[in-house]
Homo-oligomer: A and B are copies of this chain.
Amino acid sequence: MPTIDLNADLGEGFGRYRLPADEAILDVVSSANVACGFHAGDPVVIRHTVEEAARRGVAIGAHPGYPDLLGFGRRELAATPPEIEAYVIYQVGALQAFCTAAGTRLRFVKAHGALYNRAARDPAAADAIAQAVRVVDPGLAFLGLAGSELVKAARRAKLAIAEEAFIDRAYAPDGTLLPRSQPGAVLHDPAVCVDRATRMVLDGMVEAVDGTMLPVRADSLCAHGDGPTAVELLTAVRKRLETAGVRIAPFAR
């Protein structure tokens, strides 16, 4: 029986600000990328998110980002690799403590936003993230864009690797994600996203913007948790996959 993980970003509130769909999303995903307080998330929000994920058996990952709350970690910041390494150690440690407090443990690390995008192309940034994970806990899995520098760095650091594909993002013919600045980079039609998710899992293929069929090998599928239709999209994807005989389960055991 084919199995796939479904992951989404969670715990991205801050103080008075809450992104309301968190609990509904936790009901449909198998892995939660929990914000760590730099691009979003505060200790109270993180604690609550970790407890809710643990209660549902959702695998908990740390989702470290740049220290840019104002930009939600989505703006490239010219931090050096040693700075990135220290930022990731700090954030992963904070998440570990909340997992311990909730009687569970942290399973994986996935970089967020602009840090993720940079490290997908930049080996030095990717190595900084992978090294940070390794020195904190070499048993943590490393979730990254399939085929990217993130995955190569995790391999160099001898970490367990999970590769992910994006349900709601357009792919360039070379297999990279189309930048958000380009029209059509984010897919909004749930029916299209559901179809793509199914083909990714069952056929190992995704159609690029120019019609090319690209091979894709994913341990996990990602959809964005902060859009207005995130819950419906994830619910529909899960339902279709289960109907097609695919089991949804955390990649990180």
Instruction: Tell me the A residues contacting B by CB distance below 8 Å.
Output: 12, 14-17, 37, 40, 42-44, 46-47, 67-72, 74-79, 82-83, 86-87, 89-98, 100-101, 114, 132, 135-137, 226
Contacting residues, chain B, for A83 (C-beta < 8 A): 43-44
Which chain B residues border A75 with CB–CB below 8 Å? 77-79
CB pair B17–A86 under 8 Å, yes or no, is no
Asked if A72 meets B15 with Cβ closer than 8 Å, knowing A46-B86, A89-B47, A90-B94, the reply is yes
CA distance A135 to B77 in the complex (A): 28
Measured CB to CB, the closest approach of chain B to A77, in angstroms, equals 5
Q: A133 to nearest B CB, angstroms?
A: 10
Please, which residues of chain B bring their CB within 8 A of the CB of A97? 89-90, 92-94, 96, 136
Q: A43-B89, A90-B43, A97-B92 are in contact. Are A67 and B67 (CB under 8 A)?
A: no
Determine if B16 and A100 form an interchain contact, defined as CB atoms under 8 angstroms apart.
Answer: no
Q: Is the CB of B100 within 8 A of A37?
A: no
Q: Please, which residues of chain B bring their CB within 8 A of the CB of A77?
A: 68, 71, 75-78
